[in-house]
Structure 1
Amino acid sequence: MNLKELTKAEEEIMQVLWQQGSAFVKDVLEVLPEPKPAYNTVSTIIRILETKGFVKHIAYGKTHQYYPAVTKEDYRAFVTNKLRAGYFDNSARAMMSFFMENEQIDLKEADEILKMIEEMKKRQ
């Protein structure tokens, strides 16, 4: 899968589609925060997302119902890998260290991470 990074507007619309599963343009528009973009703007962004391979549609006459062609998990993995490669020399340790040093991870989360690491060790 050859993913590309989404713009802020594209990602906002993808979040709606991931949450709803499928939607018409008017449905997406309803849940977007104020100030709401124009209907044509949302329609154009969705068509761009379709061109990029993120969205597919089912046609009902002239109306289209859109649904994600890329899972949120796949996009999250893509963005995380790009972040790790671009800012942390491809090191998960460096990335985790950054979050810990900048207090982005509290003690409860750190304990949960340690439990996850212990489970990972058991599986190997």
Structure 2
Amino acid sequence: MSNTNIKPTEGEMEILQVLWKKGNCTVREVHEALNKKDAGYTTSLKLMQIMHEKGLVDRDTSSKTHIYRALINQEKTQQQLVNKMIDNVFNGSAARLVMQALGNKTASKEEIDLIKEYLDKLENK
């Protein structure tokens, strides 16, 4: 099943972030990592079952406790979502997205240095 055009919901993205960071996890591990006060364990379980049906995660059912892993690539997913946001919210302007992002959040010196380094590479292509 090709899952390249699947657009995860906000809740699904939160679960994917946990799986991308931690690797294979049980529903309990994901639920605890999310640390949501307003959502119960069964909510996390149901969402992960839906994600399995959609092809976002795989589930190992060989033991009593099912183990989930992300099936979609973090970088590709982030790239697709950013491209969609640039098109839909910033009228196709990556520069406007970057300026908005930097205006909303204070970047550390290390982050600014990385951005400058990246811009230099782009300029020298």
Q: C-alpha separation between the residues in 1 aligned to 2:38 and 2:104?
A: 34
> Please, which of 4, 13, 32 is the counterpart of residue 7 of structure 2?
4
> Within 5 A, what are the aligned runs for 1:29-108?
29-35=31-37, 37-100=39-102, 102=103, 104=105, 106=107, 108=109
- CA deviations 1:55-91 (Å, max 9, x no partner) are 0111115542110001221221122111101111111
Over 3 Å counting, the alpha-carbon distance change for 1:113 and 1:65 in structure 2 is same
Q: How high is the TM-score relative to the length of structure 1?
A: 0.79
Give the corresponding residue for 2:115. Answer: 113
Q: Percent identity?
A: 28
Structure 2 runs not aligned, ≥5 long: none
* Cα distance per residue 1:13-37 (max 9 Å; x no partner): 2222111111111222232314263
Q: CA separation of 1:10/1:107 partners in 2, compared to 1, >3 Å: closer, same or farther?
A: closer
Count of residue correspondences: 121
Task: Point out 4+ residue stretches in structure 1 off by more than 6 angstroms.
Answer: none
> Structure 1 stretches of 5 or more lacking a match?
none
d(CA) in 2 for partners of 1:48, 1:89: 32
Secondary structure, in 3 states, of the residue corresponding to 1:60?
Answer: coil
Q: Name the CA distance, whole Å, in 2 between partners of 1:10 and 1:2.
A: 15
